[in-house]
Structure 1
Amino acid sequence: MTDTSTEATPDKPTHRSGLAAAAREFALIVVGALIVSSILRAFVGQMFIIPSESMQNTLLVGDRVVVEKLTDVERGDVVVFEDPGGWLGTEESGQKRGSVGRFFEVVGLLPDSSHGHLIKRLIGMPGDKVACCDEKGRLMVNGQPLEESQYLYPGDAPSAMEFQVTVPAGKIFVMGDHRSESGDSRVHLSDTGPDGGTPGDAAFVPLDKVTGRAILVVWPASNFSKLGVPDTFKSIPAPAGPPPAKPSISLTPPPK
């Protein structure tokens, strides 16, 4: 009779496999969170840093604002948009981050530095007639004067230059709340667009370059506030007709 000996089987390093599984699970959670954050940034909303004084005192330099992308913009909204071409100077272009910072911007873990973007108030929609100014010095939209004391920078006039425009199809007319420090639609009423064309084309922002509307100031905490449409815009009548294919521009005051 032959004895059969068996050798003891060593214990498996279960603690190592457990650590590996936990590491894999953690990595999957992080990757999933980054994907969700990126999707939210692309389609729902993102945060921007205010780079200039053009929207004071509604928005101050360094404020963090939340911009939502789900709803259509309307008159009176504060909107973020890509540079339509030739608008941005060094004072209004946010500081560009390096590759690492840009990665964290893209995945939504850092607020957008606003490089290549601007933020202004939407004054005229396609087809609207925007003019400055009436006999009381007020800006007018479709013949209705705006009462802008709610948001206009103290001491600023509604506009130092006179004009009459009809906003073309697919574009909007924007102005900063700090009018004397804002390079907005008015400044470009004699400029051609980035692809040439008719003088004044550059003054109007294509709707497809609008990132979204700013809805909240979230930082610093002392400046926390909701951004909405001022009451004066709620009484603006609809435009008299369909928007033209090309803008109508006159650098003269409207009839008084």
Structure 2
Amino acid sequence: MGGNGRKDGRGGLGNVLSGLAVAVGFVLFLGGFAVGALLYQPYTVPTDSMVPTVKPGDRVLAQRVDGDQVRRGDVVIFTDSLWSNAPMLKRVVGVGGDTVKCCGQGGKLTVNGEQVDEPYLDIKHGMASDLPFEVKVPEGKLFLLGDRRGASLDSRAHLQEAGQGTVPRSAVTARVDAVAWSEQRMLERPAAFAAMPGGVSEPGPLKALLAAIVLGAVLVLGGAAYGPVAKLAARRGGTSRAGGAERERAGAR
């Protein structure tokens, strides 16, 4: 009597484990989405100022962060009324206390006298900027440039204003971690800024959240499939045994 549940896949240890897998899977799947919605915001890139890192029309996932968490090399979303009333997307190249200058030897950007290798740039004539500048970034401010230096309206367009084109850290609302829906890739932190004081930002939790969502989906599907698969296997096993018994009786006759 007690073995019937196990034979049709609806009882026993296998059924308990499959139910546990479904429960854990739902927690991981739904929890990953819920935490992701709290930590990240989607943003559609409207211009080509950050080509080739992100292109016009790309959808990016940006982690909600406080401006104090921003480091050099981060691609951030910010709103500054002196620039525009709409959110903008640029790369941080200087923080409070830095002296940012262009162009140094070989046409490269320098930060505190150190040349910065910027492999993410879309530039012409090998120059990191077609407009020479030198800015001492005030404390609590950020100096921001686009990756497509020849087409970006960034801090260089506001050099004559108070603060020489810098924006307050408080203007930053999020840091971009990934391009989604098109190329589906993570944005790496630039290695050139890693050796400078403060280093670069740690990777966000996006990879872990995606892994939790995928694992949750696998557990839900696998756990849900166990019962039907076990039941089908039991039926085939019963049919096979019945056929064997029938052959044995035929042989005896």
Normalising by the smaller structure, the TM-score range is: 0.5 to 0.7
SS at match of 1:120: strand
Verify: 1:53 aligned to 2:48, yes or no: yes
Q: 2:62 aligns with which of 64, 67, 70?
A: 67
SS at match of 1:155: coil
1:227 corresponds in structure 2 to 187
1:116 corresponds in structure 2 to 86
Could you tell me how far apart the structure 2 residues matched to 1:40 and 1:147 are? 33
Describe how 1:234-245 pairs up with structure 2 within 5 A: 234-237=194-197
TM-aligned CA deviation for residue 231 of structure 1: 1.1
- Cα deviations across residues 124-159 of structure 1 (Å, max 9, x unaligned)? 0111110111132111001110111x2001536211
Describe how 1:47-196 pairs up with structure 2 within 5 A: 47-70=42-65, 72-82=69-79, 84-88=80-84, 116-148=86-118, 150-155=119-124, 157-191=127-161
Could you tell me how far apart the structure 2 residues matched to 1:147 and 1:153 are? 13
The amino acid of 1:234's aligned partner reads A
Indicate the structure with greater helix content: 2
The amino acid of 2:124's aligned partner reads G
- Alignment check: 8 A CA contact 1:68 1:215 kept: yes
Could you tell me how far apart the structure 1 residues matched to 2:44 and 2:175 are? 14
1:111 corresponds in structure 2 to none
Could you tell me how far apart the structure 2 residues matched to 1:49 and 1:170 are? 27
Could you tell me how far apart the structure 2 residues matched to 1:117 and 1:139 are? 25
TM-aligned CA deviation for residue 52 of structure 1: 0.2
- Alignment check: 8 A CA contact 2:123 2:150 kept: no
TM-aligned CA deviation for residue 236 of structure 1: 2.8
SS at match of 1:181: coil
Gaps of 5+ in 2: 1-29, 199-253
Q: Is the alpha carbon distance of 1:237 and 1:143 closer, same or farther for their aligned partners in structure 2, counting shifts above 3 Å?
A: farther
Gaps of 5+ in 1: 1-32, 89-114, 192-199, 239-256
2:177 corresponds in structure 1 to 215
- Alignment check: 8 A CA contact 2:94 2:142 kept: yes
- Alignment check: 8 A CA contact 2:138 2:163 kept: no
The amino acid of 2:187's aligned partner reads L
The amino acid of 1:215's aligned partner reads D
What value does the CA root-mean-square deviation take over the aligned residues?
2.4
Q: Is the alpha carbon distance of 1:218 and 1:40 closer, same or farther for their aligned partners in structure 2, counting shifts above 3 Å?
A: closer
TM-aligned CA deviation for residue 216 of structure 1: 0.5
- Alignment check: 8 A CA contact 1:171 1:206 kept: yes
1:204 corresponds in structure 2 to 166
Could you tell me how far apart the structure 2 residues matched to 1:158 and 1:213 are? 23
- Alignment check: 8 A CA contact 1:77 1:228 kept: no
Could you tell me how far apart the structure 2 residues matched to 1:237 and 1:130 are? 14
- Alignment check: 8 A CA contact 2:50 2:146 kept: yes
Could you tell me how far apart the structure 1 residues matched to 2:101 and 2:73 are? 16
Could you tell me how far apart the structure 1 residues matched to 2:135 and 2:59 are? 33
- Cα deviations across residues 150-191 of structure 1 (Å, max 9, x unaligned)? 200153621111111111111100000001111100110002
Q: TM-score, normalised by structure 1?
A: 0.59
Structure of larger gyration radius = 2
SS at match of 2:150: helix
SS at match of 2:157: helix
- Alignment check: 8 A CA contact 1:127 1:166 kept: yes
Could you tell me how far apart the structure 2 residues matched to 1:184 and 1:138 are? 17
Could you tell me how far apart the structure 1 residues matched to 2:98 and 2:177 are? 24
1:196 corresponds in structure 2 to none
Identity level (%): 37
